[in-house]
Amino acid sequence: MDPWIEGAAGEISAHVERDIEALVAISSPSGDAGGAEECVALAAALAPPAAAVERVACSTPDHADDTILRLTGTGTRRLLLLGHLDTVVDHASHRPIERGDDRIVGSGAVDMKGGDALALGVLRELARRTADFSEVALLLVNDEEWRSAPFAHVERFAGWDACLCFEAGQRTTAGDEAVIVTRKAAATLRVTAAGRSAHSGAAPERGRNALVALAAAAQAVALANDPDGPDALTAVPTIMRSGEAFNVVPARGELHCDLRAKRAGAFDELRARIPEQIDGVVLASEYARRWPPMDAAERARPLLAAAEERLGRPIVGADRGGASDASHFAPAIPFTVDGLGPRGGAAHARDEYVLVSSLRPRVEVALAIVAAALSPR
């Protein structure tokens, strides 16, 4: 193993559990400005003193500003580290840190405050190596879990040498450490229904039932689900709202569906299957959010090979179905690698956790890839 990786991994590992606990202790549901500001303040405190703190507008209106922690050096390489501070868990459901066996359990632990803690540790170590880069930036966004507008930051970092995203890590079935180089496209499809209200007891036939129409639309989406097909399409209705009173035919409503596929065009083909009208109820659909697919496998191959040489053990490029902001940067930055965070599980669930035993190995993997990204090729 490269001596710098070994030494820096020891430094980061000595603090990373504490940093994860501090970040998870803050409840920061997506869209909550107060929680976001607390997380930003903590991240700035954990950053190296030399890092300049810049606040930039979030992609989603009415959210707290995103944060860039930036180091400048005397070298030539430009490296972007990437993370998000928001979670899917609301304040009432937030679970603070608990420890059990090999696990740090808490809301957002693996998605992705564990990864944020690793990225901040890497930034601190890079502050000691300013001759190796021109600029290193850690971008922390506050709306990754529920973004309602186009991603705003690609143009600023287009053409940088590498983007490293610290979403959760994983292993191969053979037990080798893996990083993410391929992701599915993702979209949230919103279907609205416009019908007509009527008394549900006296004259239901005069109404046009939006709830029933949305149920049919949800069934049409669910029938398109084909994870074993050529596009590996998953199509899952997730939220439906309709009706205002128990004795009134519901006139309006909306349906949300989560879509993932290898090819973004599969979403448009599914959307075309939803009828424009069902029993007099008008249906309209739109994408509430949409991510492109990420396929950086070939471009990342030389970077991973160089990182393996420094690490002294395999680093495997893998795929994942979940969306990530790395997908937005992959077309604009030559080397984009995701999944550099710690391993864990139960993301978006009450028992979300990070594996303590994964922290040191994942820090070593991240440092090896950083060292390879900063080396001239």
Asked whether residue 277 falls in the same domain as residue 315, the answer is no
Taking the C-alpha atoms of residue 340 and residue 362, their distance in angstroms, rounded to an integer, is: 7
pLDDT for res 100: 85
Asked whether residue 15 falls in the same domain as residue 116, the answer is yes
pLDDT(107) > 90? yes
CATH of the domain at 320: 3.40.630.10
Asked whether residue 63 falls in the same domain as residue 86, the answer is yes
Alpha-helical runs (H) found in 62-209:
114-126, 154-157
Asked whether residue 9 falls in the same domain as residue 145, the answer is yes
Average pLDDT score over residue span 119-136: 98
Average pLDDT score over residue span 32-60: 98
Token reading at 103: 């696990």
Average pLDDT score over residue span 43-51: 98
CB 130 within 8 A of CB 74: yes
Average pLDDT score over residue span 356-368: 98
Checking phi first, is residue 251 left (phi over 0); if not, alpha (psi -120 to 50) or beta?
alpha
Nearest to 373 by CA among 116, 82, 108: 82
Cα distances from 156 to residues 136, 139, 141, 160, 293, in angstroms, run 13, 11, 14, 9, 20
pLDDT for res 370: 98
Domain stop point among 291, 315, 340: 291
CATH of the domain at 208: 3.30.70.360
Asked whether residue 145 falls in the same domain as residue 265, the answer is no
pLDDT(376) > 80? no
pLDDT(377) > 70? no
How many CB atoms are located within 10 Å of the residue 252 CB?
18
For tokens 């989406």, name the residue: 221
Q: Dihedral of CA 145/150/152/155: which sign?
A: positive
pLDDT for res 183: 95
- Work out the pLDDT band at 58, boundaries 50, 70, 90: very high
pLDDT for res 108: 97
pLDDT for res 323: 83
The helix-helix angle for 3-24 and 359-374 (nearest 10°) equals 120
Asked whether residue 177 falls in the same domain as residue 218, the answer is no
Taking the C-alpha atoms of residue 32 and residue 251, their distance in angstroms, rounded to an integer, is: 31
247-299 pLDDT, tens per residue?
999 999 999 999 999 999 999 999 999 999 999 999 999 999 899 999 999 99
Asked whether residue 179 falls in the same domain as residue 326, the answer is yes
pTM confidence score: 0.91
How many CB atoms are located within 10 Å of the residue 279 CB?
11
Asked whether residue 248 falls in the same domain as residue 102, the answer is no
Average pLDDT score over residue span 82-86: 98
Average pLDDT score over residue span 40-63: 97
Average pLDDT score over residue span 115-120: 98
Asked whether residue 85 falls in the same domain as residue 217, the answer is no
> How many contiguous H segments (helices) and E segments (strands) does the chain have?
9, 19
E strands within 201-324? 234-242, 252-261, 277-278, 281-291, 294-295, 315-320
Domain stop point among 239, 261, 291: 291
- Work out the pLDDT band at 66, boundaries 50, 70, 90: very high
Q: Which residue range(s) make up the domain with 250?
A: 185-291
For 241, the 3-state DSSP assignment is strand
Domain stop point among 257, 291, 325: 291
3-class DSSP string for 197-218: CCECCCCHHHCECHHHHHHHHH
**360 Cα distance to chain centroid:** 22
pLDDT for res 54: 98
Average pLDDT score over residue span 210-224: 98
Asked whether residue 70 falls in the same domain as residue 211, the answer is no
